[in-house]
Structure 1
Amino acid sequence: MKRRAEKRAALRAPGRLITLGPEGTFSHEMALKLNAVPPEEIVLLPTIHGIMAAVARGDGDGIVPMENSEAGSVGETLDGLARHPLFITAEMYMPIHHNLASLVPLERIRVIYAHPQTHEQCSDAIEKWGVPVIHTSSNASSALEARKTPNAGALIPVIAAGLYHMPVLVRNTENNASNTTRFVRISHAPLQEKKPEKCSILIDPDQDRSGLLHDLLEAFARRNINLTRIESRPSKRKIGEYVFFLDTAWSEKTADAIIELKTITGVKELGCYRKIGVEP
């Protein structure tokens, strides 16, 4: 009886949700939006690599950015999915709005701190201001660096400006008003979803021949399975060698296509999952 009670208590106990910190990043904001009842303990780590390693150890689930409509894929996330035994269990989309914040007026700013993806998403405004940019590990780090540097500004979300008491000078500095980031929830175990919406796989070719990519894609085309995304990424082994990340719309025939791919080359299944809606 005692063991049964302990098992039921464990099932009810809140889990850990690991995401990019410090407080005030878009990843942290997404984790707050996803916090369920009972609430999960949110753990903030300074790098995506650290998040991936912690989730692979079984320390909890993770929330990481996958791609942005303006700046494209997040390379550190793709590399982590390739390196670690991890699975995607859900995807979420968030409108992204950046803001220039500073303790001094705009005309006195001599340097701007920004995450590399933020820099790319706000490149038009940065070019107009003509101020040099220093890259940081997160948007929250940008706020912290700007606070302790004389005549500095930071490109940060509203949540970070509030947390670190940075007055917002210019709102919505992103190049595109519809700027959106796709986040994924990752786990050390796959999700057993009967009718998912999307599946992700990594293809690591074990051969180099003409027509290989055609054969890989043809396994989906023949079954009328829509590929929603395909991207190459350096294999990290040698120059000119790549792995491919594929997202496919789920269908009853997706499993058959993946089985066929495995007869052609190396395949790592990253999971089948659904989209989770979050409040804007």
Structure 2
Amino acid sequence: MKHVAAKHAPARLITLGPEGTFSHEMALKMGLTKPEEIVLLPTIHGIVAAVARGEGDGIVPMENSEAGSVGETLDGLARHPLFITGEMYMPIHHNLASLVPLEKIRVIYAHPQTHEQCSDAIERWGVPVIHTSSNSSSALEAKKTPNAGALIPVIAAEIYHMPILVRNTENNAANTTRFVRISHAPVHDKMPEKCSILIDPDRDRSGLLHDLLEAFARRNINLTRIESRPSKRKIGEYVFFLDTSWSEKTADAIAELKTITGVKELGCYREIGVPE
């Protein structure tokens, strides 16, 4: 995988904390190590709001190969005037850590996405799970709770001095999370690799989804992802997030969509390579 060039790294990244989250690890992989260069906030909502205020660029998880999309990120992109300016991929490995042996663990702390990604192992252990706001919080809660374990990344185990009992507890060895870099301004790249848009239909009618997809199919543009999310206005009303491979015809397809329904362009961008 390509290494990110230093000139492309923003001077300040806002991402999910506390220290020891996969998001924090991704920020470190991008070459930022000084305290003032990485701002850790407890929620994705807070990150998105801070980026919208112009306080820096953000790094947020977009989707996971096992657990699917991250709803908070999609909702934030829909609610705020933000742009995706790059994407990064990270192999995700979870580990069971505890201050006591496995047979003495009576409760496991885990982030909901971590729980879903490690559901097979949790089922085998037969131990109750308590959800937390982050992988780092899982480590902190397990440290102060008798006979508790935590499902956490290696970086969190190292930071919070939690011995790892079982490594690689994820269901799928190819478990991967896609992160995106978000900014209050778009990038202007003449040859991006991917474009993302949000479609907010102004009315419900037969054939609408067909018309939306046909604008890309007719131009032989590949849709790499499509997902619906509740509009949050009323039951049964949805918005659609689309990722497309970039081509010289992509702008024409998006322009056609704007004549059909409401469209918000989230940006055209490249993958940012990061060290393994």
The one-letter amino acid paired with 2:131 is H
Question: Separation in 1 of the partners of 2:253 and 2:166?
Answer: 49
Q: Verify: 1:276 aligned to 2:269, yes or no.
A: no
Structure 1: how far apart are the matches of 2:189 and 2:137? 37
- Residue 172 of structure 1 is matched in structure 2 by 168
Shift of 1:40: 7.1
C-alpha separation between the residues in 1 aligned to 2:141 and 2:32? 32
CA contact (8 A) 1:14 1:38 kept: no
The answer for the alignment partner of 2:200 in structure 1 is: 204
Q: Is 1:44 matched up with 2:40?
A: yes
TM-score (norm 2): 0.95
Q: How far off its partner does 1:30 sit?
A: 0.2
Q: Tell me what 1:258 maps to.
A: 254
Take 2:259 and 2:10, find their aligned partners in 1: how far apart are those partners? 41
1:181 maps to amino acid? T
Q: 2:214 aligns to what?
A: 218
Larger Rg computed on CA atoms? 1
TM-score (norm 1): 0.94
Name which of 61, 70, 74 aligns with 1:74.
70
Once the 2 structures are TM-superposed, how far is the Cα of residue 15 of structure 1 from its aligned partner? Answer: 2.0
Which one of 109, 113, 120 corresponds to residue 117 of structure 1? 113
Q: 1:60 aligns with which of 56, 63, 77?
A: 56
Match of 1:155 among 128, 131, 151: 151
Aligned residue among 99, 106, 115 for 1:103: 99
Distance 2:28 2:209 in 1: 40
* Partner Cα distance (1:58, 1:230) in 2: 29
RMSD (Å) for aligned C-alpha atoms: 1.8
Residues of 1 paired with 2:245 and 2:161: CA distance? 43
Deviating 4+ runs (over 3 angstroms): 36-40
Is the contact made by 1:99 and 1:156 (CA closer than 8 Å) also made in structure 2?
yes
Which blocks of at least 5 consecutive residues in structure 2 are unaligned? 1-6
The question of whether the paired residues in 2 share the 8 Å contact of 1:109 and 1:152 is answered with yes
CA drift of 1:36 comes to 5.6
Deviation per CA, 1:143-164: give whole Å up to 9, x if none. Answer: 0111111111000000000000
Q: Distance in 2 between matches of 1:141 and 1:86?
A: 28
SS in 1 for 2:270: strand
Give me the whole-angstrom Cα distance separating, in 2, the residues matched to 1:208 and 1:144: 47
Partner of 1:23: 19
What count of residue pairs does the alignment treat as equivalent?
270
Q: 1:241 aligns with which of 234, 237, 243?
A: 237
CA deviation vs aligned residue, 1:197-238 (integer Å, no higher than 9, x gap): 000000000010010000000000011100000000011111
The answer to whether the aligner puts 1:190 opposite 2:175 as a matched pair is no
SS at structure 2 position matched to 1:50: helix
Relative to structure 1, is the Cα distance of residues 89 and 215 closer, same or farther in structure 2, using a 3 angstrom cutoff? same
Aligned residues of 1:17 and 1:40 also touching (Cα < 8 A): no
Contact kept, 8 Å, 1:229 with 1:248, in 2: the verdict is yes
Paired with 1:120 and 1:36, the residues of 2 have a C-alpha distance of 30
Residue 101 of structure 2 aligns with an amino acid whose one-letter code is P
Aligned to 2:226: 230
Which residue identity is paired with 2:138? Answer: S
The corresponding residue for 2:80 is 84
Q: C-alpha separation between the residues in 2 aligned to 1:55 and 1:266?
A: 24
